[in-house]
Amino acid sequence: MENWKSQSHPGKQIAVAIVCIGLGLALVVGFHNFNGPGMTNSKAGFFLGLLLLLIGIMAFLAQGRQTVVVDPAARRITIEDKSRFGTKRRSIGFHDIVEVSIGSLGKRSNYVTIYYLVLKLRNGEEYPLFAPGRFYEGASDRSIVEGWRLRLEKCIWQ
């Protein structure tokens, strides 16, 4: 079996950050004048704008590329996170994995759900693989992520 390598899409992460910054700025500017009685909605709009602006700036600064390599020959998963703040690497041996399940972020009701794999490790830790917020191709389709789970389990328990 050959290596399985996947990379996140930082361009999508940057796009989300820019949208948050734009919406945040629009709300802050639009609701900056909240003096006087009965202006609680304006205050809420202003502070929502500040929150979105902060989230957008943090997302922009934290953006990076994540690479996941599943190596069946070495019986290991290697995760590399490259960001503006450096590179972090994590290696997880197949023998450390107890279970592979599917996690999700979002709700069906707002039509945005991101799926990812959750590795349960021997030490009790749960590690998100193909993490939400990294924008892996196919992560919004549960059947694709189910395929990832089956493929990974085949590698681990062959």
Nearest 5°: the CA angle 76, 87, 116 is 55
Task: Verify that 88 and 125 share a domain, yes or no.
Answer: yes
pLDDT digits (tens, 9 = 90+) for 36-69: 666 677 888 899 999 999 999 988 888 889 999 9
Domain range for residue 24? 13-62
Task: Verify that 27 and 50 share a domain, yes or no.
Answer: yes
pLDDT of residue 83: 87
Q: Among residues 27, 47, 62, which one ends one of the domains?
A: 62
Task: Verify that 51 and 74 share a domain, yes or no.
Answer: no
Task: Verify that 38 and 25 share a domain, yes or no.
Answer: yes
Looking at the 3D structure of the chain, how many domains does it have? 2
Task: Verify that 26 and 82 share a domain, yes or no.
Answer: no
pLDDT of residue 36: 63
Task: Verify that 116 and 136 share a domain, yes or no.
Answer: yes
pLDDT of residue 96: 97
Q: pTM (2 decimals)? A: 0.77
Question: Which residues, including other chains, have CB under 8 Å from residue 63's CB and lie 6 or more apart?
Answer: 10, 13, 14, 17, 83, 84
Task: Verify that 54 and 99 share a domain, yes or no.
Answer: no
Task: Verify that 93 and 26 share a domain, yes or no.
Answer: no
Task: Verify that 94 and 134 share a domain, yes or no.
Answer: yes
* Residue stretches of the chain with pLDDT short of 70: 34-39
Task: Verify that 133 and 85 share a domain, yes or no.
Answer: yes
Task: Verify that 75 and 86 share a domain, yes or no.
Answer: yes
